[in-house]
Amino acid sequence: MTQKLDLLGKDYYSRESNQRYWSISQYKRFRECEARALAELRGDWTDTRDNTALIIGNYVHSYFESKEAHTKFIDTNKSELISSRGATKGKLKSQFLVAEQMIEALKKDDNFMALYQGEKEVAVTGFLGGIEFKGKIDCLNVERGYFVDIKTTKGPVDDTVWNGKERVYWFEHYGYILQMAAYVKMLEDTYGRPFEPIIYAVTKETPSDTLAIRVQNINAMVAEIEELENYIVRLDAVKHGQEKAIPCQHCDYCRANKLTQRVMIY
Ligand SMILES: [Zn+2]
């Protein structure tokens, strides 16, 4: 007997859920390399990126979700999180200590503690460019019309990045304005009212810094959604095997599968 999957609940991060729904992180992955993203979705390729940053992020997130969620997270990831030998045996491995420091910084931030009130880890769905997306919101306050997304970052909080054309804030560069815009769209479709996104940044600097980024730039959010709409119909056809996936020719998957440029004329 096959167990019924809960694609927006306990199986939110499963391959089945990602096959059924688009998400902003999946969209970003397809924009990086269609061939690799498709192979990941089919289970033919496992992401080889170092997942330290991901674990640190989840450590912080689960702490503010609930005591049970945090205990469960630590339990599930024990072998990676907890040192099994030497003087630090039984303690958090050194590369994850920064997560504890970030939690303390957020707890000491009165503004964060006042804002981070509402329903935690809320799954939402909605249509962008006619294609169905899912999203998971860290903290949603429907009554007061805002939501909060915690972002762990190396810092500083107002860091800028060169994107090849201009200097932009780190949260623009990593697609977080697009993510916020997508959540706003899905929430407005669901609740019929506007929502203000708040990115709550916490840095890995010692000591950690925190900052509430209240995203009120409607034009920037509209532009992000419009750009997505320019790509998503074709990418959806790629995802469903109706269009050929284009290899980026540079990533680990493309190199491993000889999808890189084979001849160069100098
Ligand atoms: Zn590639």
For residue 124, what is the domain's CATH number? 3.90.320.10
What is the rounded average pLDDT of the residues 38-43? 96
Question: 252 C-alpha vs ligand 1 centroid, how far in Å?
Answer: 7
**22 secondary structure, DSSP code:** B
234 occurs within a structural domain: yes
Question: 195 C-alpha vs ligand 1 centroid, how far in Å?
Answer: 36
What is the rounded average pLDDT of the residues 55-77? 96
Q: How many domains does the chain have?
A: 1
3 occurs within a structural domain: no
Q: What is the pLDDT of residue 237?
A: 98
Residue 166 belongs to what domain range? Answer: 15-256
Separation between Cα atoms, residue 129 and residue 22, nearest integer Å = 12
The residue that leads in pLDDT, 240 or 89, is 240
9 occurs within a structural domain: no
Q: What is the pLDDT of residue 50?
A: 87
262 occurs within a structural domain: no
Structure pTM? 0.93
Separation between Cα atoms, residue 73 and residue 67, nearest integer Å = 10
Give the residue from 32, 92, 34, 10 showing the smallest Cα distance to 59. Answer: 92
Residue 1 has pLDDT above 60, yes or no: no
Separation between Cα atoms, residue 124 and residue 238, nearest integer Å = 24
10 Å CB burial of residue 238 (0-12, 13-18, 19+) is: middle
Q: What is the pLDDT of residue 87?
A: 84
What is the rounded average pLDDT of the residues 163-174? 96
| Long-range contacts formed by 216-223: CB under 8 A, 24+ apart | 217/177, 220/172, 220/177, 220/181, 221/177, 221/180, 221/181, 221/184, 222/181
Question: 144 C-alpha vs ligand 1 centroid, how far in Å?
Answer: 43
What is the rounded average pLDDT of the residues 83-110? 93
Across 2-6, 49-53, 180-184, which has the greatest mean pLDDT? Answer: 180-184
What is the rounded average pLDDT of the residues 236-256? 97
Question: 161 C-alpha vs ligand 1 centroid, how far in Å?
Answer: 23
| Long-range contacts formed by 69-73: CB under 8 A, 24+ apart | 69/120, 69/121
Question: 36 C-alpha vs ligand 1 centroid, how far in Å?
Answer: 6
Q: Which residues surround ligand 1, an ion (CB under 5 A)?
A: 33, 36, 247-248, 251, 254
Residue 48 has pLDDT above 90, yes or no: no
47 occurs within a structural domain: yes
Question: 49 C-alpha vs ligand 1 centroid, how far in Å?
Answer: 14
The predicted-structure confidence for 125-146, as pLDDT tens digits, reads as follows: 999 999 999 999 999 999 999 9
The predicted-structure confidence for 205-226, as pLDDT tens digits, reads as follows: 999 999 999 999 999 999 999 9
Separation between Cα atoms, residue 64 and residue 234, nearest integer Å = 38
* Mean pLDDT for the chain overall: 95
What is the rounded average pLDDT of the residues 148-159? 96
Q: How many CA atoms lie within 13 A of 113 on its CB side?
A: 8
Question: 30 C-alpha vs ligand 1 centroid, how far in Å?
Answer: 10
What is the rounded average pLDDT of the residues 192-210? 97
Confidence band, pLDDT 50/70/90 cuts, at residue 2: low
- Pseudo-torsion of CA 96, 99, 100, 102, nearest 10°? 150
263 occurs within a structural domain: no
What is the rounded average pLDDT of the residues 147-156? 96
Q: What is the pLDDT of residue 37?
A: 97
17 close to 134: Cβ distance less than 8 angstroms: yes
